[in-house]
Amino acid sequence: MRSRLCTWLLIVVSISLTPASAAAEKEFGAWWYDGKAELNGYRLTVSRYGETRSGTSVMIYVTEPFSESGRVKVNDHTKNPEDTFGALKLNLVRDFQTGIYDYNTMVSTFVRDTSFEPVKVSFTSAEWCGHVYEELVFGQHEVRGTYHSYFEGESGAVELQYPQGGVAEDNLFILLRGLRKDYLEPGESRSVDYLPGVFHSRLAHQELQWTRARIERAVETVQVAVPAGGFDTVLYTIEIDGGRTGSFHIEASYPHRIVKWSLSPDIEGVLTGSTRLAYWGLNGEGQESHLDQIGLGQ
């Protein structure tokens, strides 16, 4: 079944291309349509309740067929191909301890695998005080969704405009990787409408609102040493109105994995390991040993 879906995705993106874009498409297809997911493990540092916490994170990138109308993964793409497009999904898991109790969070970001425009972001947080769930659906001109919280007065509908060229913070983990082409050229910067990440908004108990940010790419590559090894990286920095900042060290060579990242004042992650696996089939006893490949084994 997975093989058929990957073949379908290849057909979807087989369009008229220039030689340069055809080469990029070939590289993209060879990596992302092989029937596997990319798994990246991170050592995490999180600021919570005024103290620095240690935790772990996993970024799970995978392609899948997606419903335009339902904004969910499609089980059988042959039933309604006109309503189905190829999506690149990132499940970003962040787990950390705060004293006696822990936080288990995940952000799922879905983008079109051709333009990398976001189509849906969902967020879950489970800790000993309760649950939070948020879902955002990106239309052509608006962002609509719902927020459910165990805190009084926080639950309700989310309705925002979607300014042209606006960047969602959660999409930076895909957009800045430059999987088909670089987001910026060396030394280039760009000012954009910016939607803070759902993880940050939850921890800060802030209502989601668009703001402005400046994204800049360094002129030269930067050498970075992390638990996964040494990497030549492309450095992007972000300055967000209100004082927040961020940085992303992106592996210079393909597949341009995120080697190190931070978004103030909440969090920083450093790469501990990376692999490609059909992880959905690795659910038997003993197969947790594969966590060693992303540096998160026991």
Quickly tell me which residue has 């969602």 as its tokens. 168
H-state helical runs in the chain: 2-12, 19-32, 172-175, 198-204
Q: What is the pLDDT of residues 108-125, one digit of tens each?
A: 999 999 999 999 999 999
> For residue 46, which amino acid is it?
V
If pLDDT is split at 50, 70 and 90, which confidence band does 21 have?
low
**pTM, full prediction:** 0.91
Q: What is the pLDDT of residues 131-171, one digit of tens each?
A: 999 999 999 999 999 999 999 988 999 999 999 999 999 99
Q: What is the DSSP letter of 162?
A: -
Q: What is the pLDDT of residues 51-75, one digit of tens each?
A: 999 999 999 999 999 999 999 999 8
Q: What is the mean pLDDT of the chain?
A: 92
Is residue 249 within 8 Å of 217, Cβ to Cβ? no
**Which of 1-5, 279-283, 288-292 has the lowest average pLDDT?**
1-5
Give yes or no for residue 238 having a pLDDT over 50.
Answer: yes
- Strands 101-112 and 142-149, how do they pair? unpaired
Give yes or no for residue 9 having a pLDDT over 60.
Answer: no
Is residue 219 within 8 Å of 236, Cβ to Cβ? no
247 pairs with which residues across the strands?
Answer: 237, 262
Q: What percent of the chain has pLDDT over 70?
A: 92
Q: How far apart are CA 237 and CA 211, in angstroms?
A: 16
If pLDDT is split at 50, 70 and 90, which confidence band does 17 have?
low
More confident residue, 298 or 272: 272
